[in-house]
């Protein structure tokens, strides 16, 4: 789909609510699913991601709300046979029959009344697509976790669903198996132009797979938008902290000039870009990958408007990167590579210069200061 194109809505949910024991556990005023896109639902455990997926798949009856699919209203309470035949669901734990891999993948086609000859023609292609052709005659009971999940995915895709719902399908897999399967699923989603809604608490999975992202908290969607929008322009402090904006500084706007403003934060002042007013309260959000560390002051003419002297308090390895927390009068977090760490001889207690551009600061407006 071309950037900026306004797609038709494939699935629309309105006024969706689910209650348990008198408590409201899901409250979604409106949610649009667009064709040929992947929507990732991210959020902490208990945020409502699985509840939303099950409700959208008509596997959980909502307390209230309505759905429309391709512009046709469907019964969200009792489910809709035609709608359910055009979607598929993949769970965290593969739900396989005590049968061969081939028969498990073919199950959805058999339920739909597909003939044996057609099944024999179609299923091998999906076994090949998901890398399990060599397992066709193996019992599902003898599969590894990754093989079982590939079988579950092939069973979902073989019916050519218009939407596939994925409920944390990688969470129980070991890292190498998970990485390989995510890569294959990413490719298959693009090749088959399948619309998907996937829940995960792993941001890396969301970044790999998704076109759009919804951050959930307490049964509600805190923010939804393109991946870049949510990651770089979080709507509030919860979203910012969840998507990895590790520096969130409450501040007050001191001055504004030509779209650039100065905000007073604890321990210093920050320059940023945004439509704000003098006296307004703001949150200044800085992603760690936008912070540069050096052992010398930045050279004259640097485009970074924000330059601070600080002391390294902690260095934490994070795989390919190291998380460096610098005390600049306020805590500022930067990510550096192992190579940079070694070249700069960075260590806890060392003095460094931290810098970032005004355009790297995302601003969340919190309103004017109270009088007095």
User: Model pTM?
Assistant: 0.79
| Paired tokens of 187 | 């490719």
Does 234 have pLDDT greater than 80?
yes
Q: Which residues contact 340 (CB under 8 A, 6 or more apart)?
A: 293, 346
Helix (H) or strand (E) holding 117: helix 116-129
Nearest Cα residue to 332 out of 316, 351, 308: 308
Instruction: Give Dmax (Cα) for the chain.
Output: 80
Coil, strand or helix: which one is 229? helix
Task: Look at residue 28 in the predicted model and tell me its pLDDT.
Answer: 97
Does 6 have pLDDT greater than 60?
no
Coil, strand or helix: which one is 197? strand
Distance, CA of 286 to CA of 283 (rounded, Å): 10
Exposed, middle or buried, 299 (CB in 10 Å: 0-12/13-18/19+)?
A: exposed
| Paired tokens of 367 | 């309103």
Q: Which residue has the tokens 């076109």?
A: 211
Please name every residue paired with 331 in a beta bridge, in sequence order, or none if there are none: 327
Distance, CA of 27 to CA of 65 (rounded, Å): 10
Does 139 have pLDDT greater than 80?
yes
Mean pLDDT of 287-308: 82
- Is pLDDT larger for residue 105 or for residue 201? 105
Task: Look at residue 245 in the predicted model and tell me its pLDDT.
Answer: 87
Q: In order of start, what are the domains of the chain with their CATH numbers?
A: 11-240 (3.40.50.300), 251-368 (2.40.50.100)
* 317-369 pLDDT per residue, tens: 988 899 999 999 999 999 999 999 999 999 999 999 999 999 999 998 876 55
Nearest-10 crossing angle of helices 145-157, 116-129 = 130
Nearest Cα residue to 203 out of 224, 227, 181: 227
71 CB neighbour count, 10 Å cutoff: 9
Distance, CA of 148 to CA of 94 (rounded, Å): 6
Distance, CA of 372 to CA of 291 (rounded, Å): 36
Nearest Cα residue to 151 out of 88, 187, 101: 101
């Amino acid at each position: 789909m071309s950037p900026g194109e306004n797609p038709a809505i494939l699935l629309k949910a309105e006024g969706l609510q689910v209650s348990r024991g008198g408590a409201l556990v899901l409250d979604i005023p409106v949610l649009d699913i667009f064709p040929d896109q992947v929507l990732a639902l991210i959020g902490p455990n208990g945020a409502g991601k699985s509840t939303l997926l099950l409700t959208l798949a008509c596997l959980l009856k909502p307390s209230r709300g309505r759905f429309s699919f391709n512009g046709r209203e469907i019964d969200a309470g009792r489910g809709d046979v035609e709608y359910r035949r055009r979607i598929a669901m993949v769970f965290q734990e593969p739900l396989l029959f005590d049968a061969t891999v081939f028969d498990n993948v073919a199950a959805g086609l058999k339920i739909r009344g597909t003939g044996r000859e057609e099944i024999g023609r179609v299923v091998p292609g999906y076994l090949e697509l998901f890398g399990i052709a060599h397992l066709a005659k193996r019992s599902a009971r003898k599969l590894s976790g990754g093989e079982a999940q590939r079988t579950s995915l092939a069973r979902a895709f073989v019916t050519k669903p218009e939407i596939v719902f994925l409920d944390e399908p990688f969470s129980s897999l070991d890292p190498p198996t998970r990485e390989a399967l995510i890569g294959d699923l990413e490719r298959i989603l693009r090749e088959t132009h399948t619309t998907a809604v996937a829940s995960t608490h792993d941001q890396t999975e969301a970044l790999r797979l998704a076109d759009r992202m919804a951050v959930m908290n307490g049964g509600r969607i805190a923010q939804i938008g393109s991946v870049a929008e949510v990651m770089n322009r979080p709507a509030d402090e919860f979203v910012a902290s969840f998507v990895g904006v590790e520096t969130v500084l409450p501040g007050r706007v001191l001055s504004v000039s030509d779209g650039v403003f100065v905000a007073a934060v604890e321990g210093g002042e920050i320059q940023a870009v945004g439509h704000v007013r003098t006296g307004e309260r703001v949150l200044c959000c800085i992603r760690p990958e936008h912070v540069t560390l050096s052992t010398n002051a930045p050279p004259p003419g640097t485009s970074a408007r924000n330059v601070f002297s600080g002391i390294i308090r902690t260095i934490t390895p994070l795989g390919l990167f190291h998380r460096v927390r610098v005390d600049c009068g306020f805590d500022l977090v930067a990510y550096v590579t192992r190579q940079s760490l070694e070249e700069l001889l960075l260590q806890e207690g060392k003095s460094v210069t931290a810098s970032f551009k005004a355009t790297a600061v995302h601003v969340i407006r919190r309103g004017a200061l109270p009088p007095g």
